[in-house]
Copies of this chain bind each other. A is one copy, B any other.
Amino acid sequence: MKLNEIGEDAVVEEITRTLRLDERVEIGPGDDCAVVHFGPNLQLLKTDCVIEGIHFLPDTPARAVGWKALCRNISDIAAMGGDPLDALITVAVTSDRELVWLTDLYAGLNQAAAKYGVNLVGGETSRSPGPAFISVALTGKVDKERLVTRAGGKLGDRLYVTGRLGGSFPVKHLSFEPRLAESRWLTENFRLHAMMDLSDGLGSDLPRLAKASGTGFEIDFAALPKNENCSDEQALTDGEDYELLFAVSEDHGQKLEKEWRAVFPELPLSCIGRLTEAKAEPFSRPGYDHFR
């Protein structure tokens, strides 16, 4: 059976059935980050990659590729309520690649690292016969009180989305800002039940949050925040929004909405639906699947 006959979620499920995990692991694969005990602290761990021809094009400025490669991971750390710490960078390129491409890539990585307080502590450069490949692994720390997973959503919770969705290509996916400050404020001031970042599109990601929480969901399409000239379909399936999706009780939601406007006046926060009883067929329009 080939990967494209199965689809990403089933592939991941197949792989993760048998992983070696001991008691130090608080949360293993399946959430935005892994959570492990390290000494007296909780550590977040995340890895993600960008590949030429898939996540960026041969003529995409290398600086933007570097920015994107690191910020994708920062977005996942934010989605768990954590702060990013140290990044490891692996770059594989053909050996006739120009040095300036590599230094531009690192300029973008450094720019994001400086802005979000990340150390670029190490990495690996290798030649490859194939397309350029950049993999970033990122550690973070999280307070136990601030940790938010995908799994804590409760029946009747309001669902919120930051920013606007859809139309991330060709520009926004290269210059987005991970919602780190927003996540800090949210997790310091409210008891969020569940959270994740939107990377594959709301249409793929929301069913994952609902499944992890053991609920269904309904979407209020009239409230869906869309980027200019985007259809509902695009808002659900384009992907690479890197916005936060979170679930919070009705009561907290009302208070949160009001305060949000004062703290982040420029960034929309939209109540896009609710968590409901689990349904047999949660959603007919999927988002992005890596293997299909």
Contacts and interface: CB of A to CB of B under 8 A. Distances in A.
Contacts of A93: 3
A139 B47 CA distance: 12
A258 interface: no
Given A48-B90, A92-B49, A125 B8 contact: yes
A40 to B, nearest CB: 6
A127 B135 CA distance: 13
A114 interface: yes
A38 B36 contact: no
Interface residues of A, number: 78
Nearest to A117: B22
Given A24-B85, A119-B25, A130-B128, A43 B38 contact: yes
Interface stretch (A98-106, A166-174, A245-253): A98-106
Stoichiometry, as copies per complex, reads: 2
A130 B119 CA distance: 30
A291 B127 contact: yes
Contacts of A130: 51, 128-131, 133
Interface string A7-21: 010011011001111
Interface of A: 1-4, 6, 8, 11-12, 14-15, 18-22, 24-25, 28-29, 33-34, 36, 38-41, 43, 45-49, 51, 53-54, 85-86, 88-90, 92-93, 95-100, 102-103, 106-107, 110, 113-114, 117-131, 133, 135, 137, 139, 141, 290-292
A27 B24 CA distance: 25
A122 B85 contact: no
Contacts of A139: 38, 43, 45, 139
Contacts of A39: 38-41
B88 A126 contact: no
B49 A118 contact: no
